[in-house]
Amino acid sequence: MRIPKGVWTVVKEVARHVLRRPVVGIAAAARTADGRWLLIRRTDTGQWALPGGTLEWGERLRVAIARELSEEAGVDVTELGDVSGVYSDPGRDLRFHAVTIVVHARVTEPTRPPVNPMEVSEVRLFETTALPDELAHGMTRMLADAVAGKPAWE
């Protein structure tokens, strides 16, 4: 019997809470060749966020970020850069305790719609001077650190 993707997503979220272990996530401080920042609008909060997600079992970080950028933003990675920061504050994301690794990435402009429109409602490129003031799930600091070129970890 095949389990629908939406049901599988809910089961994984419940398992994370039951197991009460931090999950490893990766997010991209992604820019196009002309310097615009890539953000996604999340459907759960209606706010902008860095594209990214959690690692799948057996997956490497480099593979995960390329997959997430393709699925959530419809872009391809042209270059992965340095780690921008590692964020582990247990209160940052109310859904679960996530340890999020943010990496710099150079990406193409979006060419495909998000794979899951129930998770991502919009993808947009922003000039540095026009970035949103607040991002979803505690990502405001992550983006600010990336823009400032200030490596961070907590």
Express each pLDDT in 133-145 by its tens digit. 999 988 999 999 9
Q: What is the distance between the alpha carbons of residues 42 and 119, in angstroms, rounded to a whole number?
A: 6
List of domains in the chain: 27-153 (3.90.79.10)
pLDDT at residue 13 above 80? no
Beta partners for 28? 103
Express each pLDDT in 51-68 by its tens digit. 999 999 899 999 999 999
Can you give the pLDDT at residue 94?
73
Q: Label residue 146 by pLDDT band (50, 70, 90).
A: very high
Q: Label residue 19 by pLDDT band (50, 70, 90).
A: low
pLDDT at residue 122 above 70? yes
Q: What is the distance between the alpha carbons of residues 77 and 9, in angstroms, rounded to a whole number?
A: 25
Express each pLDDT in 25-53 by its tens digit. 999 999 999 999 999 999 999 999 999 99
Express each pLDDT in 57-112 by its tens digit. 899 999 999 999 999 999 999 999 999 999 999 888 777 788 999 999 999 999 99
Q: What is the distance between the alpha carbons of residues 96 and 24, in angstroms, rounded to a whole number?
A: 11
Can you give the pLDDT at residue 11?
75
Tokens 């459907």: give the residue: 43
The DSSP call for residue 94 is T
Please tell me whether residue 142 adopts helix, strand or coil conformation.
Answer: helix
Can you give the pLDDT at residue 16?
62
- In degrees, rounded to 5, the angle at the alpha carbon of residue 45 between the alpha carbons of residues 105 and 32 is 20
